Amino acid sequence: MAKKIIPNRARTIPTTESSAVSMEEIAPSSSRNIHASEQLPFKIMDETCKSFAKFNATGRSLLIKFNSLGEEQDPATYLKECITALTNYLVDKVPDRDLAGLRIRNIENVQDKVVGISLRRRDQFKADVVWSVLGKVIQTNARFALTDSLEVHLDHVRMPAGNGREKTKGRSLVVLSAIKKSIVVVKAPFLFGS
């Protein structure tokens, strides 16, 4: 009998309701998050999160819309600030050794292709990388507008940490290759110049 994998799914929808809690009653760390969410240059219309425990992976989808552009702001500079804020918002809680990948799809113009950034370590996942990939697509696409709704999907793969329950410090390669199955030893005399 085959097992059916059902992902854990959680859906959150941001609300604009104001609470009656004063700023003095909120802890300093949560007040920082409140101020950060107020300063985002985009609105989150829908957010979905899926978790795949068997694969140590999490998928997070956002439906966003950028705020309107100010009268004196340059559109290219404003878009770069929005992409930087979006990238920082998405990978804020991803550890540096984990892998992250990003897909951005324009909801308004369905003919546009999905912009994707392959899985890479979090410390290599910078806003400049996202901007360079997205900038090439925007430059060749005359229909792309700042007022379009975007679907942003972040793939997060948690990398395992550890040494496989075996002590590796102080052991030779011969002993480790006999114990561990992941070490491959090539026994070819012509490779070593004999």
Nearest residue to 107 via CA among 164, 74, 48, 153: 153
Write the DSSP symbol of residue 47: E
The reported pLDDT for the residue numbered 183 is 72
pLDDT in tens, 116-138: 899 999 988 888 988 888 877 77
How many CB atoms lie under 10 A from the CB of residue 84?
A: 16
Question: Residue 62 above 60 pLDDT?
Answer: yes
| CB distance 180 to 164 below 8 Å | yes
CATH at 104: 3.30.1490
Q: Is residue 71 part of a domain?
A: yes
Domain residues for 86? 8-15+25-162
Q: Number of folded domains in the chain?
A: 1
pLDDT in tens, 8-30: 555 544 444 433 333 333 333 33
Q: Is residue 139 part of a domain?
A: yes
Q: Is residue 182 part of a domain?
A: no
- β-strands 149-157, 115-121 pairing: unpaired
Q: Is residue 107 part of a domain?
A: yes
Nearest residue to 154 via CA among 112, 113, 93, 108: 93
Q: Is residue 189 part of a domain?
A: no
Q: Is residue 111 part of a domain?
A: yes
Write down the pTM of the prediction: 0.61
Interacting residues of 83 by C-beta distance below 8 A, sequence separation 6+: 127, 130, 131, 134
Which among 29-43, 132-146, 151-165 has the top mean pLDDT?
A: 151-165
Give the least confident one: 48-57, 67-76, 135-144, 178-187.
Answer: 135-144
Q: Is residue 127 part of a domain?
A: yes
CA distance 40 to 172: 53
| CB distance 141 to 112 below 8 Å | yes
The reported pLDDT for the residue numbered 35 is 41
- Residue type at 1? M
The reported pLDDT for the residue numbered 99 is 93
